[in-house]
């Protein structure tokens, strides 16, 4: 094995603590090879120290401490300080934590930097931990206020474990000194209390009110969010910048309830009072223009949406604004204006997302109007603008339809292979194999189990941003994978290889709701290939919890009525609906692993004894049984077609039947793209894509019926 790789082996079953420790020990070879401050023998580079003289830089203070104490862990962390981008800041945070108790003044210097966005939660947590060991309460409050300001957007979402830990640490600081600039923000973010306007400085209270309004907005408490935001916007002593941000958020919240007139009044106030804040002006223009476009008011929509591109051409809202304009023109039958917007969209940077949707909607209209040559020309122009699409619901879409409508076999095969090569195991890769397989020469790529999976050696690249020392590695050697994963999480890793190790440890701990979300939300590009080299990565991103598999196996074998039900579809729904969190409840009231509405559950509870309560729907054995009953019911109605089953699972059988009545189900991919609600349209593609992955990864574990 080379020094740049280490084997993770097959962790699916029976991995021992010793095996994991030996595997991760491979990290040590790379760490000791780093030479910024470490010689091959592991001692500090004397020449480097002499050249720095009496430098006040905290890194060199630590270097001297490390030399005096021969602390290999500090040396290894120092070695990563001179890496690029966020890695050096990641190392500064780790070093600060090591020095809180012994050298708090050096730790404070290490944290004296503006954290990049991806490190703000960990920087904030480290700052509040340093505040706890500070002897000066005013310093503690300054640290707390600074960390709270950086963490406010994350805290407002109310999701991350680091946020909960920040609140716990902040409570300890507040208990020592309840009066200070951080107290209102702590109260708003951690206790859901509206700060009293006279409790401290207006800017502190206003910031706390905005954070609380955002927290309530993001977590589904709309009226509670509007309550605090109205108070903020009308408070004339509050800083204008904060009131402007609150007015935009209040407008968005009103839009969610259909109160567009009230929302527009807030947006108009922003335009009149907040001209010095371009971000808020853009959002207000977008809110007003979108409402006009949806109402078909051409003059109004053009006034606001075209101004975004004219005045703020670099804004990420430009492609969204053009999308709504094109949609409005299309609905009104103004083809010339629609295609003018399409041309504008094709001139935007290719890394955006909504320009693709603008082009696709116009191409879809051309397809439905049987103008296939024009549609193909438009799709080809769009597809040639990018090599890879990172948006799951559109991956492979342009290429699939180009393959479908091409009159030249070689061109059709080239476009089809681009889907399979760039977007394996996705919705459109499945459609290529299902519908277009007979047009190509060799379709071995369409096997449910790609040949490279069968003998996967599962070699992973070395996590060069990790040192095999410290608490996380000790916990791995002790077999406490959960604690080891949380120790890594607290380090705020930013390199992909390190994040994969963190995900692996959560996976080994059986915490699948966290492990699969790391590659899903924080690592990009990995799913563009399917090979032995990333086999384990796929399994982490698409886990198969043993306890849930045992329940499903028992259910499916209990009754011949389940003989046609695909277990891969059931696991795809669990992944997409709940992320494998058994007790989760949606804002709409859906419950548990398979997100069953109580009324639906009551109607499909065959084989489940007793009353169906919300508490019981949180039990995996009950939820999976009822979910399987419901899926089997949909399968009988829709000929076990996973596309229509997934759409009906989300939107209801009746609505799917009505859509089939409007658009014949003769071309499944085009039918999916015609589903009116975008949420159901994208959900269907996501579930069917996940089902395809589960079939490929676990063909030896799942009893997949023949289609």
What are the φ and ψ backbone dihedral angles of 568, each rounded to 5 degrees?
-65, -35
Instruction: Examine the domain organization and report whether 568 and 636 are in the same domain.
Output: yes
d(CA 27, CA 377): 51
3-state secondary structure of 458: coil
105 with 118, same domain: the answer is no
Q: Is 184 exposed, middle or buried (0-12, 13-18, 19+ CB in 10 A)?
A: buried
- Alpha-carbon distance of 168 to 406, in angstroms, equals 60
**559 vs 553: CA distance, rounded Å:** 11
With both helix axes pointing from N to C terminus, report the angle between 335-346 and 372-383 in degrees, rounded to the nearest 10.
20
Pair 475, 603 in one domain? no
Residues 439-444: contacts with CB within 8 Å, 24+ apart? Answer: 439/403, 439/409, 439/412, 439/413, 440/412, 440/413, 440/416, 441/413
Which regions of 338-479 does DSSP assign to beta strands (E)? 459-461
Residues written for the chain: 707
3-state helix, strand, coil in the chain (%, to 5): 65, 0, 30
- What's the CA gap between 121 and 166, in Å, rounded? 9
Mean pLDDT, the chain, integer: 81
User: What span, in angstroms and rounded, lies between the C-alpha atoms of 707 and 705?
Assistant: 6
CA separation for the pair 190, 42 (Å, rounded): 45
Last residue of a domain, one of 170, 191, 212: 191
Sorted by sequence, the CB contacts under 8 Å of residue 125 that are 6+ apart come out as: 147, 151, 162, 165, 166, 169, 490
Domain annotation covers residue 44: yes
Same domain for 534 and 600?
no
Q: Identify whether 290 is part of a domain.
A: no
| CA atoms of 460 and 534, how far apart (whole Å) | 7
Structure tokens given for 1: 């094995």
Could you give the residue ranges of the DSSP H alpha helices within 219-239? 222-234
Three-state SS for 84-120 is CCHHHHHHHHHHHHHCCCCCHHHHHHHCCCCCCHHHH
3-state secondary structure of 613: coil
Q: Could you tell me if residue 495 is inside a domain?
A: yes
Q: Does residue 523 share a domain with residue 618?
A: no
Residue from 587, 597, 591, 594 nearest 652 by CA: 597
User: Residue 484: what are its φ and ψ, rounded to 5°?
Assistant: -65, -40
Distance CA 466, CA 34 (A): 12
| Residue 459, beta-bridge partner list | 7
Residue (of 253, 323, 265) closest to 294 by Cα position? 323
Give CA–CA dist 685/457, Å, rounded: 31
Q: What is the DSSP letter of 444?
A: G
CB atoms within 10 A of CB 237: 11
* Cβ–Cβ < 8 Å for 163, 154: yes
Is the CB of residue 463 less than 8 Å from the CB of residue 501? yes
* Residues ≥6 apart with Cβ < 8 Å to 177: 137, 140, 141
Domain presence at residue 704: no
The predicted pLDDT at position 396 comes to: 96
* Closest by CA position to 71, among listed 92, 43, 49, 35: 43
Q: Could you count the other beta carbons within 10 Å of the beta carbon of residue 175?
A: 8
- Tokens 């007790």 locate to 583
Return the bridge partners of 596, or none.
Answer: 591
**596 by DSSP, 3-state: which?**
strand
Regarding whether 587 and 682 lie in a shared domain, the answer is yes
User: Nearest-CA neighbor of 379 among 358, 409, 352, 410?
Assistant: 358
DSSP 195: P
Q: Which domain holds residue 473?
A: 454-541
The verdict on 516 and 631 lying in the same domain is no
Instruction: Answer with the one of 191, 212, 231 that is the final residue of a domain.
Output: 191
Q: Can you tell me the distance from the alpha carbon of 576 to that of 687, in angstroms, rounded to the nearest whole number?
A: 7
Which pLDDT tens digit goes with each residue over 595-624?
Answer: 999 999 999 999 999 999 999 999 999 999
For residues 105 and 133, membership in a common domain is answered with no
**Based on the domain organization, do 559 and 646 belong to the same domain?**
yes
List all residues 6 or more positions away from 609 whose beta carbon is below 8 Å from its beta carbon: none
Terminal C-alpha separation, the chain:
42
Radius of gyration of the chain (CA): 28
**SS3 assignment, position 439:** helix
Rounded distance between C-alpha atoms, residue 200 and residue 391, angstroms: 45
The answer on 645 and 594 residing in a single domain is yes
Write out the H or E segment, with its range, that includes residue 526. Answer: none
* Spatial separation of the C-alpha atoms in residues 266 and 335, rounded to whole Å: 33
Q: What is the pLDDT of residue 219?
A: 67
Q: How many domains does the chain have?
A: 4
CATH of the domain at 600: 1.10.530.10
Q: Of 191, 222, 245, which one is at a domain's C-terminal end?
A: 191
Return all residues near 474 (Cβ < 8 A) that are at least 6 apart. none
Give yes or no: residues 553 and 672 share one domain. Answer: yes
Residue 180 pLDDT: 58
Does 550 lie in the same domain as 572?
yes
Cα 67 to Cα 54: distance, rounded to the nearest angstrom:
15
CB environment 304-333: b (16+ within 10 A), e (fewer): bbbbbbeebeebebbbbbbbbbbbbbbeee
SS3 call for 311: helix
How far apart CA 66 and CA 551 sit, in angstroms, is: 53
HSE-CB at 451 with a 13 A cutoff on CA atoms is 3
Residue spans of the chain under pLDDT 50: 1-55, 83-86, 159, 440-441, 451, 454-462
Q: Whole-angstrom Cα distance, residue 361 to residue 373?
A: 16
Backbone angles phi, psi at 585, to 5 degrees: -125, 135
Quick check: is 448 in a domain? no
Stated as kind and residue range, the H or E segment containing 5 is strand 5-7
| Number of C-beta neighbours around residue 451 at 10 A | 10
Task: Give the model's pLDDT for residue 265.
Answer: 97
In a domain, residue 321? The reply is no
pLDDT of residue 73: 57
Q: Is residue 262 part of a domain?
A: no
Rounded Cα gap, residues 404 and 397, in angstroms:
11
Residue 529 lies inside a defined structural domain of this protein: yes
Q: Are the C-beta atoms of residues 144 and 183 closer than 8 Å to each other?
A: no
């Amino acid at each position: 094995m080379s020094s740049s790789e280490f084997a993770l082996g097959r962790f699916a079953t029976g991995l021992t603590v010793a095996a994991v420790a030996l595997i991760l020990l491979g990290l040590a070879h790379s760490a000791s090879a780093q030479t910024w401050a470490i010689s091959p023998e592991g001692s500090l580079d004397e020449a480097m120290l002499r050249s720095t003289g009496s430098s006040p830089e905290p890194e060199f203070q630590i270097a001297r401490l490390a030399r005096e104490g021969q602390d290999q862990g500090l040396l290894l962390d120092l070695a990563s300080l001179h890496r690029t981008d966020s890695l050096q800041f990641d190392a500064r945070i780790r070093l600060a934590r090591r020095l809180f108790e012994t050298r708090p003044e050096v730790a404070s210097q290490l944290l004296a930097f503006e954290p990049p966005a991806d490190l703000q939660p960990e920087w904030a947590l480290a700052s509040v931990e340093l505040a706890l060991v500070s002897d000066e309460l005013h310093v503690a409050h300054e640290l707390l206020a600074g960390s709270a300001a950086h963490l406010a957007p994350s805290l407002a979402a109310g999701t991350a474990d680091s946020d909960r830990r920040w609140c716990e640490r902040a409570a300890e600081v507040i208990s020592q000194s309840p009066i200070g600039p951080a107290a209102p923000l702590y109260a708003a973010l951690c206790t859901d209390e509206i700060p009293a306007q006279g409790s401290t400085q207006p800017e502190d209270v206003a910031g706390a009110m905005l954070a609380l309004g955002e927290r309530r907005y993001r977590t589904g408490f709309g009226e509670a969010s509007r309550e605090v935001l109205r108070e903020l916007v009308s408070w004339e002593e509050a800083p204008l910048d904060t009131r402007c941000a609150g007015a935009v958020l209040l407008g968005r919240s009103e839009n969610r309830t259909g109160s567009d007139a009230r929302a527009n009044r807030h947006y108009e106030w922003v335009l009149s009072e907040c001209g010095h804040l371009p971000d808020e002006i853009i959002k207000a223009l977008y809110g007003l223009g979108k409402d006009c476009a949806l109402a078909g008011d051409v003059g109004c929509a053009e006034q606001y949406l075209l101004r975004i591109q004219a005045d703020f051409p670099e804004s990420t809202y430009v492609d969204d604004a053009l999308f709504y304009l094109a949609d409005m023109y299309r609905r009104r039958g103004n083809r010339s204006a629609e295609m003018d917007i399409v041309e504008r969209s094709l001139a935007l940077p290719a890394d955006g997302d909504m320009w693709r949707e603008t082009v696709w909607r116009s191409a879809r209209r051309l397809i439905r109007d049987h103008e296939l040559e024009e549609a193909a020309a438009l799709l080809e122009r769009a597809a040639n603008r990018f090599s890879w699409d990172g948006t799951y619901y559109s991956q492979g879409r342009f290429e699939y339809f180009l393959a479908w409508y091409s009159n030249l076999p070689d061109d059709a095969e080239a476009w089809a292979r681009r889907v399979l090569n760039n977007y394996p195991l996705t919705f459109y890769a499945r459609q290529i194999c299902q519908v277009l397989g007979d047009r190509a020469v060799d379709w071995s790529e369409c096997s449910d189990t790609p040949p490279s999976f069968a003998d996967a050696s599962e070699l992973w690249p070395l996590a060069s941003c990790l040192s095999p020392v410290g608490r996380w590695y000790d916990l791995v050697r002790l077999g406490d994978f959960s604690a080891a994963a949380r120790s890594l999480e607290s380090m705020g890793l930013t390199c992909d290889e390190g994040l994969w190790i963190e995900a692996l440890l959560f996976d080994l701990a059986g915490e699948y709701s966290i492990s699969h979300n790391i590659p899903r939300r924080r690592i990009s590009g990995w799913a563009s290939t399917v090979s032995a080299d990333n086999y384990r990565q796929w399994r982490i991103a698409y886990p198969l919890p043993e306890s849930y598999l045992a329940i499903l196996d028992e259910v499916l074998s209990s009754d011949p009525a389940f003989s046609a039900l695909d277990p891969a579809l059931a696991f795809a729904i669990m992944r997409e609906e709940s992320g494998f969190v058994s007790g989760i409840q949606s804002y709409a009231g859906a419950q548990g692993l398979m997100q069953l509405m109580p009324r639906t559950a009551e109607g499909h509870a065959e084989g489940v004894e007793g009353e169906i309560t919300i508490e019981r729907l949180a039990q995996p054995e009950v939820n999976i049984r009822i979910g399987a009953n419901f899926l089997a019911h949909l399968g009988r109605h829709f000929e076990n077609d996973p596309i229509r089953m997934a759409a009906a699972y989300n939107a209801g059988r009746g609505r799917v039947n009505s859509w089939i009545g409007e658009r014949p189900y003769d071309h499944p991919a085009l039918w999916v793209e015609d589903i009116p609600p975008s949420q159901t349209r994208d959900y269907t593609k996501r579930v069917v894509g996940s089902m395809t992955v589960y079939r490929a990864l676990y063909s030896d574990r799942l009893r997949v019926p023949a289609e």
